[in-house]
Structure 1
């Protein structure tokens, strides 16, 4: 199918602006946390916008009308932002802060950390609505937000490469090894959290000892 990019450029531009707006708000949220004495929970932020080809492919797979209007009405992951955190607790802390923002509306949440997918995939998926203030109107735009730890992100990246290398037909033994690796990642995240907590206890105790009498 030939694609007239001009037909889709406004849709893609709106989602690019929504990503700009959302990333700014998330960074502001993290900076506000610093004022409250919190550590910055964000390690990395990555963003992406689906290509017209990818959008059309998804509409066709869903049996939906292939138009810009159909994409706007039915797809909420045209734009996506992935936030990588050091610890699982940082994920939920950041999510809680986002919930409190009046300028970001959370539409849907899927917690694959507390309830991993059968293949072991873990991440917190959140669909948010951002209201873009344009010259002539206020345009609501949906963005998919994924929050995960560094270890979860490494696993997901590897799984994605394997998934497409085998054209979605991953051998059973690799599927099992990936699931076992996901379980190891859960244990690693928990161990790193415990180490951080122990360091915090030592730091607090040291600070108390150093206080003048």
Structure 2
């Protein structure tokens, strides 16, 4: 059954759509948790700090459709609003963002529809984040429906900045004074510097730990070799006697 092409009764349709989008959020959330657990198992490190998810409110959906010149119908909602189901992944470091995005994109049942890399190409305001629009199959009793989810991946610092920007835009209804915009942009640059310094520091700590572990392993190997030599000497002396 293709829900993007069907015609619905308003109440039943809305309930069905929300069921699909909630299910899609559960699917993506589970995938992220498994990837995080695997990363901990293999690398002894969790790239994901926390995950937030939400379903867009009916009011927000209607406003978005009207801004784009579409009628407020179920069909238009599913076809033209890509962020009805949204999930935000908060990482420690910028490198984690690209690792998570790549691991998700490589999964066979996820189809990547679009990517917007606002980290390499920040918005004019200074906003940084990595956005993916994907579909994930939702299996219902009468068929499978590929359902869209917007995934935003950002660092803790980026998320803090974005939260402040959202509050400012809400307070001033998108028309903040110029001096506040300038200060917010300066904060965005400081956030970028902080992320870069924190990642550099983390890399240094990780390199130190790797070197230390390598040194300990080498020491263990030397101890094993010394023990084998001692055992060999004991055997040789024993045979000579």
TM bracket, shorter-chain basis = over 0.9
Q: 1:49 aligns with which of 52, 55, 66?
A: 55
1:99·1:106 contact (CA, 8 Å) conserved in 2? yes
Whether the 8 Å CA contact 1:81–1:143 is kept in 2: the answer is: yes
Q: Which of the two has greater helix per residue?
A: 2
Secondary structure in structure 1 of the residue aligned to 2:43: coil
Q: Which of 156, 163, 168 is the equivalent residue of 1:162? A: 168
Counterpart residue number, 1:182: 188
Q: Is 2:97 aligned against 1:91?
A: yes
Q: Structure 1 unaligned runs (5+)?
A: none
**Residue 27 of structure 1: SS of its match in structure 2?**
helix
Instruction: Out of 154-163 and 67-76, give the one that drifted further.
Output: 67-76
Aligned counterparts, 1:45-124, within 5 A: 45-124=51-130
Q: SS of the residue aligned with 1:110?
A: strand
The yes-or-no answer on 1:135 pairing with 2:144 is no
The alignment yields a C-alpha RMSD, in angstroms, of: 1.4
The TM-score normalised by the length of structure 1 is 0.94
User: Could you tell me how far apart the structure 1 residues matched to 2:17 and 2:211 are?
Assistant: 55
Corresponding position: 1:147 with 2:153: yes
CA distance in 1, matches of 2:86, 2:14: 17
- Unpaired runs of at least 5, structure 2: 1-9, 223-241
**Per-residue Cα deviation, 1:66-107 (whole angstroms, up to 9, x for no partner):** 111111111111010000000000000111111110011111
Matched residue of 1:32: which SS?
Answer: helix
Q: How many residues are matched? A: 210
Look at both structures and tell me which one has the larger radius of gyration over its CA atoms.
2
1:173 to 179, 182, 202: 179
Instruction: Determine the structure 1 residue equivalent to 2:37.
Output: 31
